[in-house]
Chain A
Amino acid sequence: MTLTQFLVIGAALFALGVYGLLVRRNLVLILLSVELMLAAVNINLVAFEAFLVTTQAIGQVFAIFVITVAAAEVGIGLAIVLMIFRNRRSANVDDLSLMRW
């Protein structure tokens, strides 16, 4: 097993996340894409931990932190989506062009 093969998987997942973030119209699906990107970051962290073997397992600790923060992000993000949907009867980003000229 090489380190690079894991990094490539991470890169692929991250790029897919970017793509989804930019093309999806539904807010829930955009959040899903963000989750993909966070998972890609986790893969990198854990792979580097396995490669470098730190004494305090720093890579894995940070992966745990990322998972926790991602959970919080999903909670808040879905609450906001809910609020937007309730106020505007739509969960599409295209309909949220209020901040324009």
Chain B
Amino acid sequence: MVTAMVMAVAEGVVQAGDGGFFADTAGIMLILPFVAFALIMTVGKRLPYHGGEIAVAALAVNTVWATVLFVMNMTGGVLDQTTFEIGSIGSGLVFELGWVVDGLSIMMYFLVNFVGLVVFVYALGYMHGDRRLEWFFAAFSLFAGSMLVLVGAPNLIQLIIGWEGVGLASYFLIGFYWEDLDNVRAGNKAFLTNKVGDVGLILGAILVGVSLGTFDLAELGAAAAAHDEALGAVAVAGGLLLFFGAMGKSAQFPLHIWLPDAMAGPTPVSALMHAATMVTAGVYLMARVFPLFEYLAADTRQLMVVIGAITLLGIGLLALVVDDIKRVLAFSTVSQLGYMMTAVAAGGYTAGLFHLFTHAFFKALLFLGAGSVIHAVHSNNMSDMGGLRKEMPTTYWTFVVGSLALAGIFPLAGFWSKDEILATLGQEGYITVMWVAVAGAFVTAFYMARCIALTFHGTYKGHGHPHESPPIMTRPLVALAIPSALFGLLNIPGVSLPGIGSFTEWLAVREVVMGDHHAEAIDFGLAAIGLAAALAGLALGWLVYGKDAVTQMERDRFQVPLLYPLLRRKYYVDDLALGVVGATTGPLARFVNWTNNYVIDGVINIVGGAVKWLGGLVYNGLDQRGVDGVFNGLSAMTDGAGSVLRRWQTGRVQQYASAFVAGAIILVVLFVFVV
């Protein structure tokens, strides 16, 4: 099945135009959000939407630019790079700022601006009447600008600038409700965990840049493709360091611990930053330096694939046992990032980026849908929800579309991108990992079915009367549901849509040969396996959680909705027995009842319980003890070192001054008598 697939390595670079006016002025997209930031900070308080209109306007203009570039790239290919020299270090290393316009960056421009615009509009409704709105929109604009600086970066230096910018904005927004100490802690945790990864990124960038003599990404790729010796000497170390940076930002195991806590931020923030765009920066980085791994550091691939695989299945299981709807989606995001990372690490440049592309739409949709629900019931916990499908039809249907797309149900977007990843893994010989990914698809479908069942089905268990969100919030849901449903069709393997080609071809517009591996035709067998796993997950999730929502959270016991008609027939049998035959048929009715309750329920309960137990095991054993233990140990070491060193801090200013004078004397003596 796998061997029958036809795969190909991209042979050459697609011929492309220079994009003309829109490519030359693409830098405006990188600047406008910062202008918006400054404007909101200065005049935002006086505006009716507290600066939200400025943020939306900036991203609307950006979206026009990005869409035009996206369409131009579809129809002919756009390849351009504009840089300005800022300064230089010594004779060789030049520091430039600018923007790249190629297939990859155009895709990211479109993604960030379009999803960003939709989420900003949604935030106008969601955040209405909240505290510090101008600060919210300012920091959000800061994020958008930094993200665009990151994805438009022609060199590693600018990429790091954007990288730190989005980290800063993330810190601001996770701790947005800083009155609650837990939120502040979550922000700190996210920032510090990211910083751990950032050290890897910066060291990797320095190592690669200095040994190559340039930080330019296109030159880096070209050098890698040409098997440059200076680069080859540091490729493995540099590649691993860069990957470490990507692990932090893209929440790969074991640096994933910050992302679930990051849900403390407002829901639009979770949707745009911690699901759709910012956390994909790591995958983007891996794609940008892809030739490094393809040509020079192939040895690092196994490690990266294994980490991605652990992330995609291990963290996906965690989503089964949490009650907070945003945390379910957060664990899901980590799991999906694991898919992307695995794919890119295995050589599936297109596969990973295509999943990044589709995931951004349906995961942003799911978060916004969850936000709409939270807005209605004033709680994050699914135990306070239930039965909302009647009150919130638009939210419900768009959420279902997003869930099915995430679960990978044909023909929604997730099906195509997940299938592409499975195909790549199979073709590249990572058969075990491919089966892990199939299992991941099963788990994904399971928890999304659980999420829908607990949130929208059964009876309402919260307080007050929930009602559908205003149009300013539901229309963005629809705007995201459409691409979530349809964008998978952009990259059917082997199919080039008339006039616009396919996603694979758009990504192929770039300056260097990436050495991408992608499928040339659909592998129906593998697609069927993936689809079957997803359907099985949905079915099991529905069986376990779909029925009788009043008690499902209270009793730790799984109900069986598929047998619900049977249950009704049971009462029918019961009535019949009591009414017609009387007590004589009692034992028969009791037997049927017993069979129903213990045998059939039992089987389902055992399966469901086993999956849940596994999830709990991973969560408690591995995540809480193992991973957190390492971090606790590190912090204890830091604490110990501090308690020794702090004894120098006597607080006596004159002791400090004495040391200062002594130091000055020593320096003078050194300079006068020694040097």
Direct chain A–B contact by Cβ atoms under 8 Å: yes
Q: Which residues of A contact B (CB under 8 A)?
A: 18, 21-23, 93-94, 96-101
Q: Pick the contact of B661 from A18, A23, A97, A98 — CB < 8 Å?
A: A18
Interchain CB contact under 8 A, B651 and A100: yes
What's the nearest-Cβ distance from chain A to residue B306, in Å? 44
Give Cα A96 to B656, complex, Å: 13
What's the nearest-Cβ distance from chain A to residue B431, in Å? 57
If A21-B654, A22-B657, A100-B651 are given as contacts, then 11 extra A-B residue pairs at C-beta distance below 8 Å, sorted by A number, are A22-B661, A93-B652, A93-B653, A97-B650, A97-B651, A98-B651, A99-B649, A100-B649, A100-B650, A100-B652, A101-B646
- A-B contacts, 9 of them at CB < 8 A, read A22-B654, A22-B657, A22-B658, A93-B654, A96-B653, A97-B651, A100-B649, A100-B651, A100-B652
Q: Which residue of B lies closest to A96 (CB)?
A: B653
**Which chain B positions have C-beta within 8 A of A23?**
654
Query: Does any Cβ of A come within 8 Å of B568's Cβ?
Result: no
Give Cα A97 to B646, complex, Å: 13
Q: Which residue of B lies closest to A101 (CB)?
A: B646
Q: Which residue of B lies closest to A94 (CB)?
A: B652
**Which chain B positions have C-beta within 8 A of A101?**
643, 646-647, 649, 651
Give Cα A23 to B643, complex, Å: 29
**Range of interface residues on B (Cβ < 8 Å):** 10 to 19
Interchain CB contact under 8 A, B652 and A97: yes
Give Cα A34 to B648, complex, Å: 25
Give Cα A65 to B454, complex, Å: 76
What's the nearest-Cβ distance from chain A to residue B48, in Å? 44
Give Cα A18 to B658, complex, Å: 9
What's the nearest-Cβ distance from chain A to residue B491, in Å? 59
What's the nearest-Cβ distance from chain A to residue B646, in Å? 4
Give Cα A22 to B653, complex, Å: 9
Give Cα A22 to B657, complex, Å: 7
**Which chain B positions have C-beta within 8 A of A18?**
661
What's the nearest-Cβ distance from chain A to residue B336, in Å? 46
**Which chain A positions have C-beta within 8 A of B654?**
21-23, 93
**Which chain A positions have C-beta within 8 A of B652?**
93-94, 97, 100
Closest A-B pairs by Cβ, 6 of them: A100-B651, A97-B651, A101-B646, A100-B649, A101-B649, A93-B653
What's the nearest-Cβ distance from chain A to residue B657, in Å? 6
Interface residues of B in 412-440 (CB under 8 A from A): none
**Which chain B positions have C-beta within 8 A of A93?**
652-654
Give Cα A100 to B657, complex, Å: 15
**Which chain B positions have C-beta within 8 A of A22?**
654, 657-658, 661
Give Cα A22 to B665, complex, Å: 15
Q: Which residue of A lies closest to B655 (CB)?
A: A22
Interface residues of B in 620-657 (CB under 8 A from A): 643, 646-647, 649-654, 657
Q: Which residue of B lies closest to A19 (CB)?
A: B661
Q: Which residue of A lies closest to B643 (CB)?
A: A101
Give Cα A51 to B177, complex, Å: 66
Which of B650, B651, B657, B658 has the most chain A CB atoms inside 10 A of its CB?
Answer: B651
Q: Which residue of A lies closest to B647 (CB)?
A: A101
**Which chain A positions have C-beta within 8 A of B643?**
101
What's the nearest-Cβ distance from chain B to residue A45, in Å? 19
**Which chain B positions have C-beta within 8 A of A98?**
651
